[in-house]
Structure 1
Amino acid sequence: MLQRLRSRDVVKMFRTAAQTFSVASLPRRVLLITLRHFCNKAPRKLRVAELLSGTGLEANVQVQGWVRSVRSQKANLFVDVNDGSCLQSLQIVASPELNDPLLTFGSAVEVRGILKKSLHPKQAVELEAEHIHVVGECNPLDFPFKIKERHTLEYIRQFPHLRGRTNAFGSLLRIRGEATWALHSYFKENGFAHIHTPIITSNDCEGAGELFQIEPSYPQNSQDENFFSVPAYLTVSGQLHLEVMTGSFSKVYTFGPTFRAENSQSRRHLAEFYMVEAEVAFTRTIEDLTEVMEDMFKRTTEHVLDCCARDVDLFHTHVTPGHRDAVEAMLKERFHVLTYSEAINILQRSTQTFAFPTNWGCDLKTEHEKYLVKHCGTRPVFVTDYPYRLKPFYTRDNRDHPRHTAAAVDLLVPGVGELCGGSLREERLDLLRARLEEVGLEDTYSWYLDLRRFGSVSHGGFGMGFERYLQCILGVDNIKDVIPFPRFSHSCLL
């Protein structure tokens, strides 16, 4: 029971008890010394974020982390320790006798002492150390990150095994974690069921052929060439599996890794990335989907700005100065909506020279997407009703449209281009069968036709690239700087 109490509460309790002892009892001083010894043996282990909030004030506590700076003065030793729980470090104040040659920038330490209010205006508390133990030493001369030096994202990207120790990437990881939690919370609050869609699949949802095929690393004893009896691949999307679930759930979503075998070194593409995907049953209009996309974007971003204020501010101050204003403007205004035909007209009237064609029927490239966002006042833009032939087999055919278009939508955002892609799905069995026959996939997707034969309903969905979302709200130029371990062509470190 004593270990559950704060040290000062236990001291108060024993003082009261000691006052009632008779002359024959142990001296009160002995009892207090014994109690103090007990408390020192069992310090309360807390994270830096908890200590900075004032938790454990005046108590005997222990903190574990990594040294961010060491300043040795005649009267005191000052050590800043961070454990990744927040951007700010905890200042340790100690006697010079506790200094250790191994106590250097980057070393791992355990510190025990009493948490006190600080007299310094820039910090609320500090830890008066009674014991400092260097758990893991670090030679600061060999360590690639230098004390008090602000390294670029491009530089720290060279050290994926160490870059989590920098302020910038530590902040990124906390933002990434909070955004993940916010997205899950958004879908839960809005009645979506979370589905774990498979990473190994036998279908190519996008139909672009950019697949990583899976094969066992050891020789097969059977005559069958394939481990799964059919060719298997790393998933490019969980959409088709979510569509299966819309046969019994009205709202479903998934959030996990997806893979594209794109031979690209661009700032917008990865071979492995995370995607948020949702499907909604009993929906008949693109507006039903765009409302969810916009609401999800704004609610998630508001949560991140509120809960990770210091971490986001680091990016908006030192990495992308002024980007905070752009993010807040996106949250205040309704997203703009253009049809594909309107977008093409805007591009054709532009005085800007584009590398790719802008005639009706062409696919929109990154340069087109960024121009359209800028044209609309640097706010996000929904582009709807793309040419039917540009979209995959599952996209709903707008048969009543003057031009042959599909009920598809892309969300374009400043600095990134396409963030979300979605569509209504073709629920009409005859049209879907004809389309699959046209592309030679009727046998492969016979199960997909079954979904339309047994209780089919109108439905639609979308996917959002999680890394591109982080690029958008933080203003980070390269997608490789918003994922812990980037995978792209000719690079698979760790």
Structure 2
Amino acid sequence: MRSRFLVSFRRSLSFKRISETVEPSESRVVVQGWIRSIRRQKEIAFVDVNDGSTLRSLQVIAGENLNVDNLCIGTSVRIGGNLTPSFHRGQLVELKADEITVLGQCNPKEYPFKAKRRHSLDYIRQHPHLKSRTSFFSSVLRAKNAASVALHAFLQESGYIQVHTPVLTTNDCEELGDLFQVEPQSYFEASSDRRSHFFGTPVFLTGSGQLHAELLACGLGSVYTFGPTFRAEKSHTRRHLAEFWMLEPESCRLDSMENLTNFIENCLKCTLKSCLSKCEADVYFVSDYSSQGENKSLVHLESAIEKPYLRISYTEAIRILESSNETFEFEPKWGCDLQSEHERFIVRYCNNTPVFVTDFPIELKPFYARDNGDNTAAAVDLLVPGVGELVGGSVREERLENLSYRMRKKGIDTDYDWYLDMAKFGAMPHGGFGLGFERFLQYLLGLDNIRDVISFPRFLGSCKY
């Protein structure tokens, strides 16, 4: 027992992730991963191994004393040896192997990804269960992790407390009108006259955690929730999913449009800057891969990090659209919501700099957006190049009379009495916003299709795996 423990302990000391193999080592090391490519010569073989910890693969030198006949692309291996300096361009070290153990065989004829081939994003999208093995999607996931860590770090350092809001809920926060209803399987198996709701009332997968987060913010000051969100999007656009993740901060400090927009801008700038510093190689690689070397997203990111974001009112935005020579599918006029084509034009008009559009007609915004008293609401959308709307937020309506009036006018019933209690019992002025995490990744990486930033996309007609 003791000897087995010592062997395991020694192996853990020598085991390295490939991201850690950056300089020669006198000590023997062990790496573990999947073969990306293999080149056989007469007395030697060059094996490129990657373990997902970095974009860079490690070149392994296998001498004639090692059997490499059963190695092929996709095979998982454990390799021991010494890290020595490499004289090949683009790599600092290589691993001279003294032992190769096959952990999992792979049939190269059936494996969908081939060595040294640039697969199209559409092709990669067709293999969601295996795409993390590709250089492209493993880079996406590392960037996604860096973005998540950066958002958490910014909010924690800003004094926000992470809270968890329900996934199952009775409210339609965004007034979507088409949420996913949840019932146990036995409900559908019972005859119609014997059916009863599991919770005693219709319950849905959450479309937003905002209302619950508002209540918690009124007790804790500043909170945020970061979790899955579900919306029955009946469309096949490049920006929508039926399941995605949403970051939703709520704070009593975000009590004015100035405070709200300044905080959103600082949050995005710090997060983008952190992502570039932590995984610059991955961001460059994905950008090159998707735009064929044009690095379009990085030009946008430079503006998003260095330049101040513009601020225009909804009324100004409509004036810009109406005075343009552009032919729009949907005619822009005051009182109508901004369509994707309008958002794209406004961003171009603003020199592809992120722009806040504020003070929308109150009838366009949900009941919780604060009434400005002039038929507009203290609501804001942040528009960015390539994506359009990235953030939506508002100063919240905390005045009981105004809130009750807005809810009655929207036809919202007494099931929201629990939310009204916030205004009854000492609510502070407060505000918040929602950031679609996958859209943020689209913007960071310059990707056209939101399905390329999520492991297992769910959308109309598709829920694989």
Question: What's the TM-score bracket when you normalise by the shorter of the two chains?
Answer: over 0.9
Pairing 1:374–2:348 present: yes
Q: How many residues align?
A: 458
Does the 8 A contact of 2:390 with 2:435 survive in 1?
yes
Of 3, 28, 36, which aligns to 1:60?
A: 28
Match of 1:484?
455
**What's the C-alpha RMSD, in Å, of the aligned pairs?**
2.2
Of 413, 419, 424, which aligns to 2:384?
A: 413
In the superposition, the TM-score normalised over structure 1's length comes to 0.89
Which residue identity does 1:71 align to in structure 2? R
Post-superposition CA distance 1:196-229 (Å, at most 9, x none): 1111111110112120000001248996711111
Q: Distance in 1 between matches of 2:360 and 2:264?
A: 18
Greater alpha carbon shift after TM alignment, 427-436 vs 367-376? 427-436
Does the 8 A contact of 2:254 with 2:432 survive in 1?
no
Match of 1:208?
176
Does the 8 A contact of 1:77 with 1:99 survive in 2?
no
Does the 8 A contact of 2:11 with 2:30 survive in 1?
no
SS in 2 for 1:111: strand
Does the 8 A contact of 2:241 with 2:457 survive in 1?
yes
Q: Answer with 1 or 2: which has the greater Rg.
A: 1
Q: Distance in 2 between matches of 1:282 and 1:444?
A: 28
Match of 1:27?
none
Pair 123,226 (structure 1): closer, same or farther in 2 beyond 3 Å: same
> Relative contact order, CA 8 A, sep 6+: which one is greater?
2
Of 449, 465, 472, which aligns to 2:443?
A: 472
SS in 1 for 2:65: helix
Of 330, 333, 340, which aligns to 2:314?
A: 340
Q: How far does residue 287 in structure 1 lie from its aligned partner after superposition?
A: 1.2
The runs of 5 or more residues in structure 1 that have no matched partner are: 6-36
Post-superposition CA distance 1:136-181 (Å, at most 9, x none): 1112222111110111111100000111111100100000011101
Identity rate of aligned residues, in percent?
49
The runs of 5 or more residues in structure 2 that have no matched partner are: none
In the superposition, the TM-score normalised over structure 2's length comes to 0.94
Q: How far does residue 119 in structure 1 lie from its aligned partner after superposition?
A: 3.0
Q: Distance in 2 between matches of 1:258 and 1:223?
A: 31
Q: Distance in 1 between matches of 2:127 and 2:284?
A: 24
SS in 2 for 1:397: coil
Post-superposition CA distance 1:277-322 (Å, at most 9, x none): 1111154311111111111111000011111011111022232222
SS in 2 for 1:319: helix
Match of 1:48?
18
Q: Distance in 2 between matches of 1:474 and 1:250?
A: 33
SS in 1 for 2:268: helix
Q: How far does residue 74 in structure 1 lie from its aligned partner after superposition?
A: 2.3
SS in 2 for 1:247: helix
Does the 8 A contact of 2:38 with 2:45 survive in 1?
yes
Match of 1:9?
none
Pairing 1:322–2:295 present: yes
Match of 1:226?
197
Of 55, 59, 81, which aligns to 1:113?
A: 81
Match of 1:150?
118
Q: How far does residue 40 in structure 1 lie from its aligned partner after superposition?
A: 9.0
Pairing 1:175–2:143 present: yes
Task: Trace 1:157-196 onto structure 2 (pairs within 5 A).
Answer: 157-196=125-164
Of 83, 89, 103, which aligns to 1:135?
A: 103
Match of 1:462?
433
Q: How far does residue 41 in structure 1 lie from its aligned partner after superposition?
A: 7.7
Greater alpha carbon shift after TM alignment, 216-225 vs 320-329? 216-225
Does the 8 A contact of 1:284 with 1:458 survive in 2?
yes
Of 372, 382, 385, which aligns to 1:398?
A: 372
Pair 282,302 (structure 1): closer, same or farther in 2 beyond 3 Å: closer
Of 198, 201, 211, which aligns to 1:240?
A: 211
Post-superposition CA distance 1:449-489 (Å, at most 9, x none): 11011111111110011111111121100000011110000
Post-superposition CA distance 1:219-246 (Å, at most 9, x none): 4899671111111100000100101112
Task: Trace 1:445-456 onto structure 2 (pairs within 5 A).
Answer: 445-456=416-427
Match of 2:261?
290
Pair 113,391 (structure 1): closer, same or farther in 2 beyond 3 Å: same
Pairing 1:305–2:276 present: yes
Q: Distance in 1 between matches of 2:311 and 2:433?
A: 16
SS in 2 for 1:240: helix
Pair 40,74 (structure 1): closer, same or farther in 2 beyond 3 Å: farther
Q: Distance in 1 between matches of 2:149 and 2:287?
A: 22
Post-superposition CA distance 1:322-351 (Å, at most 9, x none): 221221122111001110000000000111
